Amino acid sequence: MAELKTEDIYQALNERLERQGYHLIGNHSSVKKCYWNHAAIAEHRFCYKSKFYGIESHRCIQLSVSNHWCWNACTHCWRLRPQDVGLEWNETKMPYNDDPKFIVENAIKEYRRIMSGYKGRQGTDMKMYQEAMNPKHVAISLTGEATLYPRLGELIKEFHNRGISTFLVTRGIRPDILANLEEEPSQLYISLEAWDKESYNLFNKPLVPRGWELTLETLGMLPSFSSTTVYRITVVKGFNDSDEAIKGFAKLIKLGLPNYVEVKAYMYVGASKGRLTRENMPNYDEVKEVAKKISNESNYPIVSESVPSRVVLLSNMEKPIRYGNGMPMGWSSVEEEESPGEYDDEP
């Protein structure tokens, strides 16, 4: 059998993404509808980012700028890996570098295309539909490591110039990129599952040397950011819910002093189902218990929670910073009942 060319491999990977509902942009980016885009516009139900940070769920773009590349091979991640698809490629280096303005324009275009189907749909709030055609926020995450895109700061600035706020999600493995952004995101997320080098090498499986040391370097420079900063601790039942892990997370919080800490459940979805089991997905009460312990260890009080997304928010801020006209921080209603399968599309 002839060896596949690099472009054929990426074409095969892109075809898989398209079958999974991704809208491809150029050579390395994509947009995908989030569950909460639908829930907001059709059911008046909103994601935790709306409650915590004021994000309007029906006006929020989910964007990846690094579809197939990352410096980690995290156990819980849904990114396609070589062993998942029987193909081989260099996961650590992006061979493409599309123009930021092109990505931004087409991210907005594809988002409008995604949401346009709600115009004549029964149950659609037409005022919210009109608002959705003018997105106000982008989560730069979804799949792959965003900091591998070399023009990330330009991309963020391009969104800001259009009145669109940005949340950048990263595993924190590129402190060099984060330290030299032309423009900071509105909010910077660092995703954490491990609490020390041993657990990091076991679970996050770095594909480059000194992955844990690079992560610590990122955490250490967070207090220098003018944007708000967040740790998102993904709770994987049976792995990082022990007392040892909780004490380790508390030490990391004291190192980076983030404005917020999200303690959030691992979701049993995508390619991660081949590496973990449904039993590794904690329910809301189990997440809440871990959050309480981290709160006690770190002296970060619990300030909010979202049952459907199985997430609890801790913060050392006296007053939250809002990035839109979403739900107020203290909002709660019957929609906060546990509802299996409702999650945002971020690992």
**Is pLDDT of 337 > 70?**
no
Q: Note whether 17 and 11 are within 8 A (CB).
A: no
Write out pLDDT tens, residues 110-129: 999 999 999 988 889 899 99
The residue behind tokens 């639908």 is 38
Find all residues with CB under 8 Å of 184, minimum gap 6, and list them.
Answer: 156, 225, 226, 227
Q: What are the backbone dihedrals phi and psi of residue 184, each rounded to the nearest 5 degrees, phi first?
A: -75, 155
Place of tokens 């996050």: 204
- The answer to whether residue 332 scores a pLDDT higher than 80 is no
**pLDDT of amino acid 3:** 63
DSSP assignment letter at 261? E
Cα separation, 132 vs 134, in Å, equals: 5
Provide the sign of the torsion angle of the four alpha carbons 59, 264, 215, 30, taken in this order. Answer: negative
SS3 of residue 296 by DSSP: helix
| Local structure of residue 273 (DSSP, 8 states) | G
Q: Half-sphere exposure (CA, 13 Å, Cβ side) for 159?
A: 30
The model scores a pTM over 0.85: yes
Q: Provide Rg for the chain, Cα atoms.
A: 19
Point out the least confidently predicted range of 147-156, 193-202, 337-346: 337-346
pLDDT tens string 249-293 = 999 999 999 999 999 999 998 778 889 999 999 999 999 999 999
Of 189, 193, 170, 175, the C-alpha closest to 66 is 170
Q: pLDDT-derived band of residue 130, with 50, 70 and 90 as boundaries?
A: very high
Whether residue 286 lies inside any domain: the answer is no
In a domain, 276, yes or no: no
* Average per-residue pLDDT for the chain: 91
The enclosing domain of 132 has a CATH number of 3.20.20.70
Question: Using CA atoms, how far apart are residues 47 and 254, in angstroms rounded to an integer?
Answer: 28
Higher pLDDT, 203 or 332: 203
> Would you say residue 196 lies in a domain?
yes
Residue 25 lies in a domain: yes
Three-state SS at 206: strand
pLDDT tens-digit series, residues 136-186:
999 999 899 999 999 999 999 999 999 999 999 999 999 999 999 999 999
DSSP secondary structure letter of residue 27: T
What percentage of the chain carries pLDDT values higher than 90? Answer: 78
- What pLDDT shows up at residue 22? 95
The reply to whether 328 falls in a domain is no
pLDDT of 274 reads 86
> CB burial class (10 A; 0-12, 13-18, 19+) of residue 196?
middle
Residue 172 lies in a domain: yes
The number of folded domains in the chain is 1
Q: Which two tokens stand for residue 310?
A: 């199985």
pLDDT at 335 over 50: no
Share of the chain above pLDDT 70, in %: 93
Q: Which of 217-221, 226-230, 335-339 has the lowest mean pLDDT?
A: 335-339
Beta strands in the chain (DSSP E): 22-25, 29-32, 60-64, 137-140, 165-170, 187-192, 228-235, 260-265, 302-306, 311-315
- The whole-number pLDDT of residue 54 equals 94
Point out the least confidently predicted range of 65-69, 77-81, 156-160, 190-194: 77-81
Containing structural domain, residue 114 = 15-215+225-238
CB atoms within 10 A of CB 75: 17
Q: Is residue 8 a part of any domain in this protein?
A: no
Q: How far apart are the first and last CA of the chain?
A: 35
Q: What is the pLDDT of residue 334?
A: 29
pLDDT of residue 320: 85
How far is C-alpha 112 from the chain's CA centre?
Answer: 21
Flag the least confident range among 71-85, 101-115, 310-324.
71-85
* Position 220 in a domain: no
Q: Give the model's pLDDT for residue 267.
A: 93
Residue closest to 237 by CA, chosen among 291, 296, 283, 190: 283
Q: Which two tokens stand for residue 11?
A: 């074409």
